[in-house]
């Protein structure tokens, strides 16, 4: 197999690459903003793209760079059958790009059926299962000596005794991220004491049987960093990009609302990411999220992503490191695009989450000066001059979601003053109705889903 050298830190793949000798299609599963970024990263280089989703209204299904294909389900046998039906309609084996953990789990479990039909580089099934679970990732990292915050697993009330080993504040997360994706449990919940942790775990365990309670790493949203990579045969690093978040939604523990390049820590985080994935024999598309302790400056690994792209994957492309195209060229044994330097870093921004973060910052008392975007130009995945139609479908999607009471409740829960007022109103209503306690209820739980 031809070997390709990884891009050097000083020279990166251009955001608008030259055309490649594309012969095979790329199939992208999931048609959200991240998939749209992948489609543009590949399509602008002349790669034919097919976008797969259950909903033809999803924005990326209407990109000029992709041909839409509807399936009946986005996980399990429904997804696999849909992919095989797509394969029967074309005369070659396309490359497969996944955008969610449930896609990765389904494709991994049914890889024997997909063998020969699609081309995708994945770790071994057992390794995928380990890295998709937060608690088994924690154990792997500890076993191999990588820096992770202290954490314990909680599976039932009998595990509450182990909370004495944790320094608070801490964060509670379902071991399986798919639970929070399905709105069954919060993605993450910060707690300030053992008593609060026990009460929160007792509630969340009803929907998520496996929890991880992890010590909180001091720092703002801009202390969260990530390293995106594509790893080829024998773990060879084909492409790598390091960035930092500027804003999240929900605050502190949610998905990326805005982010940019972080060349100042590229060497350190690239080395840590490579070392971990080397030790765990992870290949294909992957990434690692870090948080920097603002007191000590030490980086801690928070969680990996394996087998799929990240939500903010396009930030690498707009800053010169086109990871999807590098993966495509590597797997098809095409020459890698000629690296090219880039000037001031660009900021990737997802407008709904970013604007809600701005509103929240205005409503709370503490300032967030370190969460402001960098001086570089901002770029949104929702709009592009050469691909304008998806914006219309983004707007339609946002309008539909604005009518959902759940979205307003989520914003309420992120604003302490409004949340406390809402709790007081609920308490007042309870007293009028003859509440036996007459006490103000605890703060409303944070809904798990973000717009």
Average pLDDT, the chain: 85
Instruction: Give the C-alpha distances (Å, rounded to integers) separating 351 from 30, 271, 383, 398.
Output: 19, 32, 10, 10
Res 178: pLDDT: 76
Share in percent of the chain as helix, strand, coil (round to 5): 40, 20, 40
Q: What is the pLDDT of residues 98-141, one digit of tens each?
A: 999 999 999 999 999 999 999 999 999 999 999 999 999 999 99
Residue closest to 337 by CA, chosen among 353, 319, 355, 324? 324
Helix (H) and strand (E) counts for the chain?
Answer: 15, 15
Say yes or no to pLDDT of 162 above 80. Answer: yes
Q: What is the pLDDT of residues 211-260, one digit of tens each?
A: 999 999 999 999 999 999 999 999 999 999 999 999 999 888 889 999 99
Q: What pTM did the predictor assign?
A: 0.84
Three-state secondary-structure class, residue 95: strand
Res 402: pLDDT: 78
Residues in Cβ contact with 234 at an 8 Å cutoff, skipping those fewer than 6 apart: none
* Domains observed in the chain: 26-130+219-353 (3.30.470.20), 150-215 (3.30.1490.20), 404-451 (no CATH)
């Amino acid at each position: 197999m031809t070997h390709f050298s990884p891009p050097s830190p000083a020279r990166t793949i251009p955001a608008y690459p030259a055309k490649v000798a594309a012969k095979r299609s790329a199939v992208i599963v999931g048609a959200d903003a991240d998939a749209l970024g992948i489609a543009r990263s590949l399509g602008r280089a002349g790669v034919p793209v097919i976008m797969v989703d259950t909903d033809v209204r999803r924005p990326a299904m209407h990109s000029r760079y992709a041909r839409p294909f509807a399936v009946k389900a986005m996980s399990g046998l429904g997804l696999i059958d849909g992919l095989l039906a797509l394969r029967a309609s074309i005369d070659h084996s396309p490359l497969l790009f996944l955008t969610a953990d449930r896609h990765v789990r389904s494709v991994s479990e049914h890889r024997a059926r997909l063998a020969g039909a699609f081309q995708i580089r994945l770790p071994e099934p057992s390794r995928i299962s380990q890295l998709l679970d937060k608690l088994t990732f924690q154990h792997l990292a500890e076993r191999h000596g990588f820096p992770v915050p202290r954490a314990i697993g909680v599976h039932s009330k009998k595990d509450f005794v182990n909370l004495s080993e944790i320094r608070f504040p801490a964060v509670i997360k379902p071991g399986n991220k798919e639970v929070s994706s399905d709105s069954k449990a919060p993605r993450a919940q910060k707690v300030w004491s053992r008593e609060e942790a026990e009460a929160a775990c007792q509630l969340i365990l009803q929907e998520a049987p496996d929890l991880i309670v992890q010590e909180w790493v001091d720092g703002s949203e801009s202390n969260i960093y990530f390293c995106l990579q594509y790893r080829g045969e024998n773990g060879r690093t084909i492409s790598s990009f390091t960035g930092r978040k500027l804003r999240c939604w929900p605050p502190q523990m949610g998905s990326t609302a805005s982010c940019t390049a972080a060349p100042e820590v590229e060497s350190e985080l690239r080395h840590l990411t490579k070392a971990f994935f080397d030790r765990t024999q992870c290949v294909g598309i992957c990434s690692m999220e870090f948080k920097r302790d603002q007191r000590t400056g030490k980086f801690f690994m928070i969680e990996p992503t394996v087998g799929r792209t990240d939500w903010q994957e396009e930030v690498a492309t707009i800053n010169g490191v086109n990871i999807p195209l590098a993966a495509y060229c590597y797997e098809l044994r095409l020459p890698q695009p000629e690296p090219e330097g880039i000037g001031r870093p660009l900021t990737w921004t997802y407008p709904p989450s970013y604007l809600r973060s701005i509103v929240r910052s205005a409503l709370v008392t503490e300032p967030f000066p370190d969460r402001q975007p960098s001086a570089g130009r901002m770029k949104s995945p929702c709009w592009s001059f050469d691909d304008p139609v998806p914006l219309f479908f983004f707007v339609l999607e946002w309008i539909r979601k604005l009518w959902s009471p759940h979205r307003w409740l989520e914003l309420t829960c992120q604003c302490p003053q409004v949340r406390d007022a809402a709790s007081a109103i609920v308490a007042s209503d309870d007293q009028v109705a003859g509440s036996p306690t007459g006490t103000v209820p605890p703060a409303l739980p944070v809904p798990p889903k973000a717009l």
